[in-house]
Amino acid sequence: ERECGLLLLVKGIRRGRGSLASAKLTALLFVSCAYGVLQELSTIFFFGYFYGYGDCGRLLQSVPAYRDCARKMTVQEAFLAQAGIRLLASAVAVILIYAVAMAVKNAVAVMAAAALVFAAEYVLDILIPVSGTLNYFKCMNLFFCWDMKNTFGTYCNLNIFGFPVGKGCCAAAAAAV
């Protein structure tokens, strides 16, 4: 706020920095979700127009790439679920970038730190196999959740305290934390 001359704005707000920070985060989440909805709808309509989806009421397992899907769902439900997962992943990414921005005060350092975090996420997504011992980190990775083939086409249970738990539950718990 000091660099951009917004210190008067912070002083003019009754509750100070806390309400301004929450307003900024709310605006970022709203814009991120609005862009995500626009992107998902345009992609679905674009590919539907040019390639077609066939009967969207058929089971997802009837598509060869998703025959290993553990959930019984239709193609239409899979599209909606994947759009919701991508919206949640983008919200988590926005919160992560906002947390880095609040921790680092320099704008260039914020961009560098965010790029470093996303580069590390991408490298971990490539290096960690789904069936490996570090598959917990693979299934909670933003890049893993963004890909529909990984989300619905790959079957994997994670061993948590000796009990098999689905990768979706673990990713949701990690996003909530």
The pTM score is: 0.67
What single-letter amino acid sits at 159?
N
Residue range 50-97, pLDDT digits in tens: 888 888 888 888 888 777 777 788 888 888 888 888 888 888 888 888
Residue range 130-171, pLDDT digits in tens: 776 776 677 777 777 777 676 676 666 666 676 666 666 666
* DSSP assignment string, 62-89: GSGGGTT-SS--BHHHHHHHHHHHHHHH
CB neighbours of 71 closer than 8 A, spacing ≥ 6? 60, 152
